[in-house]
Amino acid sequence: MAGIVRRIASRVLGEDAAKKIYGGMDVVGDIAIIRKPVDFNDIDVFRRLGEEIIRSVKYIRSVWLAVAPVEGEYRLRKLIHLAGEKRTETIYREHGCVFKVDISRTYISPRLSFEHIRVAKLVNEGETVINMFAGVGLFSIIIARHARPRKVISIDINPDAYRLMVENVSLNRVEGVVEPVLGDALKIIDLYRGSAERILLPLPELALEALPKAVDSLRGEGFIHVYDFVRANDKKAALDEASRKYAGALEESSHVDAFNITYGRVVRSVGPRRYQVVLDIWVRKS
């Protein structure tokens, strides 16, 4: 797929422009999303590229241009239709699970695929997991299908994400394990104080703010997975910076008896000297 698109992009846009497009394309089900480089404003050129993709790649039915980065409370992208069917809903498959998604109304990124299965493999039998920023349920449902949790409380504030999460729970037959909840996780989490072994914070913009609430919702000790953006000169420095930030916050908390950052990795690069980082943090409450 990547090779074909790269060849089409080189033919339509020229080699230099094609290089910029290449790293910025996602395929979600049968929809391709091209990220517009900031210095490229001729939409007609992208339409030609979209039409070529539809002609040459049989399983792509719809092509969209993301004209701005993911933004706002619901983490959505502004999209312009380029070619093929004018449709934003599709079926996305990951790790043997099936997800109904809407690329314009809900957050969805295939770039988190490795993280979804990595975290699922860490979950022990009988755990209660709380996913505070669940989107359409990818982490939660993949955990329910690949591990044996007792419960996965799966919260999102976006009504469209909640609606699709409910559908995805039944599509993947994990009713009774994954419990979709609609609302502000920073408030709802208070209902789950002292109840979970593992908390997921997959929203960089709120992860640090959510951290004390995540600690409170642990039963005694457990793991918190934080996703955050950090500025740094390289990947090693990015991990050091994220570790400093979260260690600092946990050291200051009177609710934390002990903690250990057991793992960290750079999930992806999100701009010049800007990285998305995940930390797995074991915490024991005081």
C-beta of 222: minimal distance to ligand SAM in Å? Answer: 19
C-beta of 29: minimal distance to ligand SAM in Å? Answer: 14
CB of 4 or CB of 191, closer to ligand SAM: 191
C-beta of 70: minimal distance to ligand SAM in Å? Answer: 8
CB of 138 or CB of 278, closer to ligand SAM: 138
Backbone φ and ψ of 205, nearest 5°: -65, -25
C-beta of 184: minimal distance to ligand SAM in Å? Answer: 4
| CB neighbourhood size of 214 (10 A) | 25
Residues near ligand SAM (CB under 6 A): 73-75, 107-108, 112, 133-135, 138-139, 155-158, 161, 184-186, 202-203, 206
C-beta of 82: minimal distance to ligand SAM in Å? Answer: 24
Question: What separation in angstroms does the CA of 71 have from each of 105, 152, 254?
Answer: 12, 26, 34
What are the helix and strand counts (H, E) for the chain? 9, 13
CB of 40 or CB of 74, closer to ligand SAM: 74
CB of 13 or CB of 112, closer to ligand SAM: 112
CB of 5 or CB of 185, closer to ligand SAM: 185
